[in-house]
Amino acid sequence: MVSLSTSVAGIKLSSCLYNGSGPKSGHVSDLTNVGRSRAGAVLSKSATLESQSGNALPRLRKVKLGDRGCQGSINSEGLPNQGIDYYISSKVCGDVAATGKPYIVSISGLKLADNLEMLSRIAAEHAAGSKISAVELNLACPNIPGKPTIAYDFEQMADILKQVTAHEAFKASGLPIGIKLAPYFDMPHYDIAADLINSHKDRIRFVVTMNTIGNALLVDGESEMALIKPKAGFGGLAGGFAKQIALANVRQLSQRLDSSISIVGVGGVQSGMDAFEMILCGAHAVQVATTHWLEGPECFNRITEELENIMKRKRYNSVEDFRGKLKEFDHTLYKDPEKANKPKPMPSTNSMLLAGILPALLFVGIAFLMSNKSAAVP
């Protein structure tokens, strides 16, 4: 029997697949829809202290590459959300709990004090009986005009981690906390981020990598316009375009983070094979964001089935059987699918010459020489 079950920060998930914090995670109906699908957990939209309506429209678009169909998305939503009190209310927590799935609350305060206040409120609601399993602290929203991405400012990140992990009431709640990072591209940045996180490994129990590739620009040449309104068109690039960068971030961090810290991969997962690759690079669980936005919660059923079929074909029974086991390239083991499916080409004139005519000429030449030689013998 194939099992997709996994564990993130000690929380058991029936499946390693669940939603990313983003579109279709802002209302209780979105969250219960995820919970009723085959997703293994439910994650809220990133909450701020107060509810807010977000940036001007349009602020979320599909991104296509040439005429090959949808490849991803760009967004600059500006954290539209119902405010923390909504996401931790007994109504929302109760409805999500009724689906039987662990509920993770994402927070993204506009300032450090907001994050600390949200942790106090989460601890209080948890003590009052609201069913919350963990907190994802978002350090990487690129879409707030005038605010830098915290995960790129290591001094600020160090200060936030220090204060968040020292929060007494939240510590007492026993709830695990994880952080969501921005994509990194440079080896020293992975080193610094991982060292920082490892220095809080007793409290930071999981890492979610990665947020969108910040401040991309979607342009429509026909109308000569940027296609989203906020921030002069600059927004976070996500979906298919992000996948290889997300795989790299999962891999690099899994090689640096303490083994007690769970890794959740997110970025460009559209299929069971995409999820398989994330796990191969070291992810304990995999979030799906753009595909969830485009396809709805049914995507969790489809991707689950696809991943199960891949695992059956490869004779893996559990996620741990292949997690983190990415191999280096080896010529002797690689079958190029493009070559395997190509019909054998017609032999070219040159190769026909080489393969057929030249050896024949050589043979005739040798025979001629031999016959001359024997004729010369008296």
Q: Give the footprint of ligand DHB on this chain (CB under 6 A).
A: 46, 54, 75-79, 108, 138, 140-141, 143, 211-212, 236
Task: Name the minimum Å distance from CB 77 to ligand DHB.
Answer: 3
**324 close to 282: Cβ distance less than 8 angstroms:** yes
Indicate the residue among 78 and 272 with the shorter CB distance to ligand DHB: 78
Task: Name the minimum Å distance from CB 315 to ligand DHB.
Answer: 37
Taking CB positions, which residue lies at the least distance from ligand DHB?
77
Indicate the residue among 97 and 288 with the shorter CB distance to ligand DHB: 288
Task: Name the minimum Å distance from CB 258 to ligand DHB.
Answer: 24
Indicate the residue among 106 and 130 with the shorter CB distance to ligand DHB: 106
Half-sphere exposure of 172 (CA within 13 A, CB side): 9
Active site residue 141: yes
Distance (Å, whole) CA 151 – CA 258: 19
Give the C-alpha distances (Å, rounded to integers) separating 212 from 76, 205, 244.
10, 22, 12
Indicate the residue among 190 and 234 with the shorter CB distance to ligand DHB: 234
Residues β-bridged to residue 74: 61, 237
Task: Name the minimum Å distance from CB 290 to ligand DHB.
Answer: 11
Give the C-alpha distances (Å, rounded to integers) separating 339 from 39, 343, 349.
36, 8, 22
**Which residues have CB under 8 Å from 22's CB, separation 6+?**
45, 75, 238, 289, 290, 292, 293
Identified catalytic residue from 16, 141, 281, 299: 141
Task: Name the minimum Å distance from CB 142 to ligand DHB.
Answer: 6
DSSP at 81: B
Task: Name the minimum Å distance from CB 148 to ligand DHB.
Answer: 14
Task: Name the minimum Å distance from CB 147 to ligand DHB.
Answer: 11
Comparing CA positions, the residue from 130, 90, 101 lying closest to residue 32 is 101
First-to-last CA distance in the chain?
A: 86
Query: If DSSP codes are grouped into helix, strand and coil, which group holds residue 149?
Result: coil
Indicate the residue among 70 and 110 with the shorter CB distance to ligand DHB: 110
Distance (Å, whole) CA 186 – CA 207: 18
Per DSSP, the chain holds a count of helices (H) and strands (E) of 14, 16
Indicate the residue among 54 and 265 with the shorter CB distance to ligand DHB: 54
Indicate the residue among 44 and 138 with the shorter CB distance to ligand DHB: 138
Peptide bond just before 58 cis, omega within 30 deg? yes
Helical segments of the chain, H only: 28-36, 84-87, 90-97, 112-127, 154-165, 168-173, 187-198, 243-254, 272-280, 290-295, 298-313, 337-341, 349-352, 358-376
Catalytic residues: 141
